[in-house]
A and B are shown apart, each in its own frame.
Chain A
Amino acid sequence: MIAFEHVGKAYDGRVAVDDVSLSIAQGEFVAVIGPSGSGKSTMLRMVNRLVEHDSGRILFAGDEIRSFKPEALRLRMGYAIQSIGLIPHWTVEQNIAAVPELLGWPPPRVRDRVAELLELLHLAPDAYRRRYPHQLSGGQQQRVGVARALAGDPAILLMDEPFGSLDPVTRDSLQQEIARIHKSSGKTILFVTHDIDEALRLATRIVLLDRGRVVQDGTPREILARPAADFVSEFVGRGDIGIKLLGLDTVSGLVRHGDSAAGEPIPISASLREALSIAIARGVDRLPVADEQGRPVGAIAVGDITKPRP
C-alpha cells in the first residue's frame, strides 16, 4: 500500500528523516513511534505530500507519490491530526462532508455518509450534525476529526497523534473505537504516537524511530521481547517490559475451563496484565472468568500467568 525506499528529508541541513525504508501492506495498523524530534510526524506528512521528501522514493499503491497531484493524493488518504483541525465556521456535518464534496458525491449520498459516520463514532446524528466545533467537548471534536478522515472511504488512514491532547478516559474510548474500525473495515492505518502503550495496544506493527532512523520494526511482541538496541528497551520502559508483554495476550488462552473461583468474574477478553493486576489487588491467586454474555467459563490462576512461556 505504502512503501518508503531510502527516503530522506532535511530541514535547513538538519536531518529529520534519514534513509528510511519501510513497506506497509494492505490492512496493517502501523504505529510509528519515537521521542519528539525523531522525524515521525515528518514521515507521516511526507506520505500525503504536506512535506516533500528530498531523496528516495515513496510509493502509494505501486506509484511514486509525486506522480499524483497532491490534492488528488490527499483525497485518497484520510488525515487526522492532534489539534483536530476542525474548520471552526463549519458545522459537524460540513466538516465531515468536506472530502465527499470534494469527490463530487451527490448530496443525498453525502448526507447518508455523514449520518453513518456519526453513528459509527457514537455521536447521535440528529443531535450533532448541526453543531459547530466549539460547541463540542475535546473528545467529541476528535470523534468528528476521525469521522472526517474516514468520510471519503480512503484507502489509507494517516493519523498524527490524534488522541494526544485528550484526557485518559476519552483517549481510552477513542482507542477502542479506532481498533474496532480497523478490525471491521480492514483499512491500512499509519499512526504516529509517542505513547508506547497506545502503540502496543493498537498496532499490528510498530516502527521505532530515533533521530530520523528506523531503530526497530516489528510486532509489539518482538519489540518487547527482543529489543534491538538499548534505546528500544529504554523507550518501551525497561522496568515493565514483562508487564507490557502480558498486556498483549488475553485471558482466553490460559483459562482452565470448568474450573471455578470465588469473586466477581473478569471478562475473557481482558488482558493477562489486567487479570494479574486484579488478582494482586484482591489478594487472591485465582480469578473466575466469564464470557461476553457474563456466563462463567472457568478460572485463571496467577501461577499460569507468571509461568515462563516460550
Chain B
Amino acid sequence: MKAKRLVRDPLPWFTALLVFFVFGMDALQPIFAAAFPELARPVFTQDSFPALTAAHLELVAISSAAATLFGVGIGIFVTRASGLEFRPMLERVVAIGQTFPPVAVLAVAAPVLGFGERPALIALALYGLLPIVQNTVAGIESVPGSAREAAAGLGMSAARILRRIELPLAMPVIIAGIRTSVIINIGTAALASTVGARSLGTPIIVGLAGFNTAYVIQGAIVVGLLAIVVDLGFDRLLRFLDRWRESETRDSSSRAARVPHTP
C-alpha cells in the first residue's frame, strides 16, 4: 500500500528526471547527435548545466523572497483599518500590472537599470509581487468574520488576531499566491538571459540566435522540469498546511469553507 503510493507520487520521479538532465546532459550527447546530425556541437557546453541551474534558482529565490516579503506586507497593510483607503488604488495597480506581459517588464527594466543581474531581479520581483498581494488580500478576507469577532471578544489584541487567526487561516491562499508567483518567475527568469543575466535561458537564447534547436530543447526541458518539481513541492506544502481540514469529519459534509487555491 505504502509502496504503491510512493510509486504513484510524481514528485520523486520528476525530481530524478530533473537531476538527470542537469547533471547528465553530456551523457545525452549521442542522442542529440543522432537527432540533429547537421549540428557540429549538439550539446550546450559554453556553461555547465548545474551552474546555469544554480544561477537560475538564485535569480528566482532572491526575486521571489523579495516579492513575498513585500507582497504579504502590502496585503496585510491594505486589510488593516489604517491601510483600507489604499485598497482601491492598489487594486487598480494590480489589475494593470497583471495585464503586463513579463517580457515587457524586462524590456522596460533593462534600459532603465542597465544590463546584468540587477534589472532581471527587480523585474522578476515586481512581476512576482502581484499574485502574492492579491492572494494575501483574498486570503485574509476569506477569514470568517465570526472567528475574527469572537477572537476580539475574547480579548485578543489586533496583532495577535493577525498572527494567530488571520495569517494561519489565510496561509493556504497566500502560499497559493507565492506558488503562482514562483512558477511565473521560473519561466520568466529564462528571459533574464536577454538582458545579460546568467540563467537556464542562456542555452535557449544562444540556440535561437545560432539556429541550434538542440540548445533550445535542452534549456527548455530543464526549465520545464524545474517548474514542475517546484510546483509539486508547493502542492505538498499546501496539503500539509490544510491537514486540519482533512481530518476525519463527523458527517460527510465538511463545514469548513474551501477556498480556491489559484489567484
Contacts and interface: CB of A to CB of B under 8 A. Distances in A.
Interface in A138-184: 145, 148, 158
23 contacts: A73-B155, A74-B152, A79-B150, A79-B153, A81-B146, A81-B150, A81-B153, A85-B147, A85-B150, A86-B150, A88-B256, A98-B151, A99-B154, A102-B154, A102-B156, A132-B245, A132-B256, A133-B255, A134-B256, A135-B248, A137-B250, A145-B150, A148-B154
Contacts of A215: none
Contacts of B151: 85, 87, 98
Nearest to A135: B250
A30 interface: no
Interface residues of A, number: 30
B249 interface: yes
Q: Is the interface of B mostly helix, strand, loop or mixed?
A: helix
A84 interface: yes
Given A79-B154, A102-B155, A134-B256, 11 more contacts: A50-B149, A74-B153, A81-B146, A83-B146, A85-B147, A85-B151, A88-B147, A89-B244, A102-B154, A102-B156, A137-B250
B155 A72 contact: yes
A101 to B, nearest CB: 10
Contact of A74 (B155, B247, B255): B155
A140 B155 CA distance: 23
Interface in B122-169: 144, 146-147, 149-157, 165, 168-169
Contacts, number: 75
A120 interface: no
Contacts of B146: 81, 83-85
B254 A87 contact: no
Nearest to B249: A135
A48 interface: yes
Contacts of B244: 89, 132
A136 interface: yes
Nearest to A73: B155
B66 to A, nearest CB: 28
Contact of B247 (A86, A98, A99, A132): A132
Interface of A: 48, 50, 70-75, 79, 81, 83-89, 98-99, 102, 131-137, 145, 148, 158
Nearest to B248: A135
A231 B149 CA distance: 32
A153 to B, nearest CB: 13
Contacts of B255: 133-134
Q: What is the size category of the interface that chain B forms with chain A? A: 20 to 34
Given A75-B155, A134-B256, A89 B169 contact: yes
Interface string B39-57: 0000000000000000000
A203 to B, nearest CB: 21
A297 to B, nearest CB: 43
B154 A134 contact: no
A134 B254 contact: yes
A81 B149 CA distance: 9
Nearest to B245: A134
Nearest to A137: B250
Nearest to B168: A89
A87 B150 contact: yes
Contacts of A50: 149, 152-153
Contacts of B169: 88-89
A101 B169 CA distance: 20
A136 B254 CA distance: 10
Given A86-B150, A134-B249, A135-B249, A71 B144 contact: no
Determine which residue in B153, B156, B256 has the highest number of CB atoms from chain A within 10 A of its CB, and name it: B153
Interface string B200-240: 00000000000000000000000000000000000000000
Nearest to A158: B153
Contacts of A89: 168-169, 244
A99 B155 contact: yes
A131 B247 CA distance: 9
Contacts of B248: 135
Contacts of A98: 151, 154, 156
B254 to A, nearest CB: 6
Determine which residue in A70, A85, A136, A137 has the highest number of CB atoms from chain B within 10 A of its CB, and name it: A85
Contact of A48 (B153, B168, B249, B250): B153
Contacts of A135: 247-250
Determine which residue in A71, A89, A135, A145 has the highest number of CB atoms from chain B within 10 A of its CB, and name it: A89
Contacts of B147: 85-88
B144 A88 contact: yes
A129 to B, nearest CB: 14
A73 B155 CA distance: 7
A89 B151 CA distance: 13
A83 B150 CA distance: 9
A240 to B, nearest CB: 34
B149 A85 contact: yes
